[in-house]
Each structure stands twice: as structure tokens, then as C-alpha cells.
Amino acid sequence: MSITSISSDYIDRGIKQKFDQKLIMVGRLGYFSPSECDRIVESAMRLPQKPGLIKGHEDFASGDFRRNRIAWIHRDPEFNWMITRLQEAVELLNDKYYRFDISGFEPIQFSIYDNIGDFYDSHIDINLDCDMMRKISVIVQLSDENDYEGGNLEVFSTDSEYAPAPRQRGSVLAFPSFLVHRVTPITKGKRLSLVAWTVGPNFK
Ligand SMILES: O=C(O)CCC(=O)C(=O)O
């Protein structure tokens, strides 16, 4: 049996499994209410913004691999409620599904895709120059799904193709940081998201 047909067998099983059984991505749909999303966006839009760059490749021409703007959210009285709730959700998801050894969270990234063509090409979130190993990447869909077209968060799946993540506003979506993922180009409107990472000791 050739390698190709072995991997096809595996791919077929993947297709028949349900979203949360594959463990490619798990999440809580609509975890933050629309008014909570509004509150997060209102506070986050006041933070200093800069172009999204690639860690370790900050000299990459902006736009070759990623084009959007970001701001960093740290623990502070304005954001503590959101950070606490987000961390609770991620810890529950980790306990239930991945059971990775996690010891903390990095600062949260607020991402803005508001120009036609803004995107983030295929990448993984594990970097050699991070202080601790990133374990789980977490996305919060802050925009109403009807407010933008394109701008899909997609994770490379067992079906040998990219699986689009749910777009429902307020959803918290989590996947292992070593999985390849991307955000497809925005073709209309504006997409806002939060990106968080749990960290912990290296995988063994
Ligand atoms: O903005 C998003 O939804 C995902 C961003 C992303 O993949 C990342 O920052 O690693």
C-alpha cells in the first residue's frame, strides 16, 4: 500500500468525524455577548496600533505575508474582566479536550482587518524566540459575521484542506499552536478579533 493511500484512509475518517471530535479546533460559540464584544472593541480601539508583523521576521516587507493592524492588550482594569473570562473558557476547553500542560497566557493581540485584501497567510504560532512554548492559540470573533466578507479564519484540517472556523460573533475558538492556520483576504467590510496564546513547558 502506498503512502498516499494510507493517508487517504486517515483523511476519510477525518471527514466523518464531528467538529469537536477531531480536536483540530474546539470552542464555545457566542461565549461573549454582542454587548460584551462592543465593550471590548470600544476599549481596544483606543490602544496604540501598529502593523502586524511576523515574529522573528520584523524586517519582512509588510503585506507580503500578512497585512493588518494590531494592538496589544495587557492586564489592566479596563480589560481584566474580559481576560479573566477568556482564560476561564480556555482552561475549561483545555481540561476537557487537549489536556496540555499550561502555566500561563501571553498578552492578548487585538487584530484589525479593515482594508480590502488584509490577510494573514498560512503560519503556525510556535516560535523559537518565545520565552515559553505556545500551546493553544485562541481566537475571539469580535465582529458580526455579516459585517465582512472573506476574512475567514481557517485551520489546516485532517481533511487535507483548510477548514473555515465558525464566524459567530463572540465565539471563542481554540486550536493547538502548532497547527497551520491563516486568515483569508477581506473582500468587504471589517473583521476584528482577539488572539491569545496559552504557554507552558515544552512538549515532551
Ligand atoms: O486574527 C485572527 O483571527 C488570527 C490571527 C493569527 O492567526 C495570529 O495572530 O497568529
For the stretch 146-161, pLDDT in tens is 999 999 999 988 767 8
pLDDT of residue 167: 94
Asked if residue 85 has pLDDT above 80, the reply is yes
Homologous superfamily (CATH) for 3-200? q2cbj1_9rhob like domain (2.60.120.620)
Instruction: Note if the pTM is more than 0.85.
Output: yes
Q: Given this model, what pLDDT does residue 23 score?
A: 76
Q: Is the CB of 195 under 6 A from ligand 1?
A: yes
Domain coordinates of the chain in residue numbers? 3-200
Q: Is the pLDDT of residue 68 over 60?
A: yes
Short-list 143, 189, 185, 187, CA closest to 166 = 143
Q: How confident is the model at residue 17 (pLDDT cuts 50, 70, 90)?
A: very low
Q: Is 139 near ligand 1, meaning CB less than 6 Å away?
A: yes
Mean pLDDT across 39-47: 98
**Residue owning the nearest CA to atom 5 of ligand 1:** 195
For ligand 1, say whether the CB of 167 is within 6 Å of any of its atoms. Answer: no
pLDDT of residue 74 exceeding 50, the answer is yes
Take atom 7 of ligand 1 and give the residue whose Cα is closest: 182
Long-range contacts of range 87-96, CB-CB < 8 Å, 24 or more positions apart? Answer: 89/28, 89/31, 89/172, 90/136, 90/138, 90/172, 90/174, 90/196, 90/198, 93/26, 93/27, 93/28, 93/136, 93/172, 93/174, 94/136, 94/174, 94/198, 96/26
